Structure 1
């Protein structure tokens, strides 16, 4: 845990490769001190069809899904770590958002083979 899911505007890939987005978000989650590296799952999904407000502005939206039990302070600090890493990419004319979502621990299932 966590699952870090990056949604981004496909045109952005010409300026920031998806691999860089994945590595940036992974590194920021690791730097938060809340997780071990082997527990962080990060993936990126590109969107071709989107609208941001009244225009088609590039965007990066990161959803971090955590098992329930983290404090508000921990979740807020994690959000700030991820946002700071996104800001460090130095992109202009872009919408950056980070959402921390809690998953109910009792109903979460996992199988790895």
Structure 2
């Protein structure tokens, strides 16, 4: 945990490769000291079509999905650290936002399926 989903306008790929956006989010998560590197799951979703106030304004929106149990202050600090990490890019005319969403522990299910090694 967490699941980090980086949504961004595809026109930003000319300025910042998506993997660099993921690395920035990862850096913010690590800086929070809430997670180890092995805990962090990252993925990105480019948007080809997007409008903000009727215009194609560039954006990066990060959704951090966490299991419940962290304090409001911890979640706020995490959001601010990830936003600060994204702010280190020399981007102009872009909207950066971070949203922390809690997942209920009681309703979260997970199964990891591994291939079996032949001996």
Task: Report the counterpart of residue 91 of structure 1 in structure 2.
Answer: 91
- Does residue 2 (structure 1) correspond to residue 38 (structure 2)? The answer is no
Shift of 1:91: 0.7
Shift of 1:54: 2.5
Listed as ranges, the matches of 1:52-91 within 5 Å are: 52-91=52-91
Q: Unpaired runs of 5+ in structure 2?
A: 114-119
Q: Unpaired runs of 5+ in structure 1?
A: none
Equivalent residue of 1:112, what SS?
coil
Deviation string, structure 1 residues 72-99 (Cα, Å, up to 9, x no partner): 0000000000000011112110011100
- Does residue 32 (structure 1) correspond to residue 36 (structure 2)? The answer is no
RMSD: 0.7
- Does residue 103 (structure 1) correspond to residue 100 (structure 2)? The answer is no
Shift of 1:107: 0.3
Q: What is the rounded CA distance, in whole Å, between the counterparts of 1:73 and 1:28 in structure 2?
A: 15
Q: What is the rounded CA distance, in whole Å, between the counterparts of 2:71 and 2:27 in structure 1?
A: 21
**Between Structure 1 and Structure 2, how many residues are aligned?**
113
Radius of gyration: which is bigger?
Answer: 2
Structure-2-length-normalised TM-score: 0.92
Structure-1-length-normalised TM-score: 0.97
- 4+ residue runs over 4 A deviation: none
Equivalent residue of 2:30, what SS?
helix
